[in-house]
């Protein structure tokens, strides 16, 4: 198809393409492949309904139609893509436009969408601060990401900032705290059934590569203790000041 998958959410895939035309071709190829798989594996034919969207094209269409809610949603979706590409300045511009549009037209649903996207911003800043050794700053941003997301009702996605807190602890060489937070995030991913794996990011890979091996009985026990935590307890653990800063 010529694209690459940069995010999965449950059974949904976000795929980046160079041009709108290649994205359209990729979507059609994916639909054909799904139909073929359905016929081969289950012997089913006929109509197959799959929802796909081209976000750049959607933004242009909503602007032409004057659809406030659709425009804000498309802006927020594009901001997600910019976050994943580390285009932070562009992401911020998209979020600000979406928030302004939603607020000016008093559209709570659109405002919620753009605010949910904005909750991702502190996580990006936090993980980059962690890899640079700016631990207090990283903790502040990750705490904001986690608490804002929860306040917006996005409990299923809490494993993302919980994992980021675990990497922060790993960068600080607080191995048992890191293992406990990794366990808590892993358990929440399993409970939610929505987030398939730890989010990938160059800063997280750098922290993992620089960290010494922290396996062993103590880390294994901490990991299991983290898995036993419910979400509220995991949030309390993650957001308390790290031991070195108490």
6, 15 in Cβ contact below 8 A? yes
Over residues 44-90, the pLDDT tens digits come to 766 667 767 666 666 777 777 777 777 777 776 677 666 656 676 77
Over residues 104-121, the pLDDT tens digits come to 655 555 555 555 555 666
- In this structure, the dihedral spanned by the alpha carbons of residues 173, 176, 179 and 181, taken in order and rounded to 10 degrees, is -90
Q: Which range is least confidently modeled, 117-121, 166-170, 206-210?
A: 117-121
Q: What is the largest CA-CA distance in the chain?
A: 63
Fold of 53-245: 1.25.40
Question: DSSP secondary structure string, 71-84?
Answer: HHHHHHHHHHHHHH
Question: DSSP secondary structure string, 113-182?
Answer: HHHHHHHHHHHHHHHHHHHTT-HHHHHHHHHHHHHHHHHTT--GGGHHHHHHHHHHHHHTT-HHHHHHHH
223, 184 in Cβ contact below 8 A? no
Total-model pTM: 0.57
Tell me: pLDDT of 246 over 50. Answer: no
Over residues 25-35, the pLDDT tens digits come to 787 788 888 88
């Amino acid at each position: 198809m010529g694209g690459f998958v940069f995010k999965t959410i449950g059974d949904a895939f976000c795929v980046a393409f160079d041009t709108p035309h290649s994205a359209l071709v990729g979507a059609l190829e994916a639909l054909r492949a799904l139909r073929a798989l359905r016929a081969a594996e289950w012997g089913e034919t006929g109509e197959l309904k799959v929802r796909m969207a081209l976000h750049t094209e959607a933004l242009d269409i909503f602007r032409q139609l004057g659809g406030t809610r659709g425009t804000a949603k498309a802006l927020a979706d594009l901001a997600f893509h910019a976050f994943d590409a580390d285009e932070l300045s562009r992401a911020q511009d998209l979020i600000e436009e979406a928030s302004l549009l939603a607020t000016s037209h008093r559209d709570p649903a659109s405002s919620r969408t753009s605010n949910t996207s904005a909750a991702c911003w502190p996580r990006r800043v936090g993980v980059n601060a962690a890899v640079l050794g700016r631990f207090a700053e990283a903790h502040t941003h990750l705490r904001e990401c986690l608490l804002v997301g929860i306040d917006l009702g996005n409990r299923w996605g809490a494993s993302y900032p919980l994992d980021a807190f675990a990497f922060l602890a790993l960068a600080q060489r607080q191995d048992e705290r890191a293992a406990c937070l990794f366990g808590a995030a892993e358990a929440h991913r399993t409970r939610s059934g929505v987030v398939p794996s730890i989010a990938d990011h160059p800063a997280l890979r750098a922290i993992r590569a620089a960290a010494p091996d922290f396996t062993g009985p103590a880390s294994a026990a901490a990991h299991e203790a983290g898995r036993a935590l419910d979400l509220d307890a995991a949030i309390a653990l993650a957001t308390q000041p790290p031991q070195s800063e108490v």
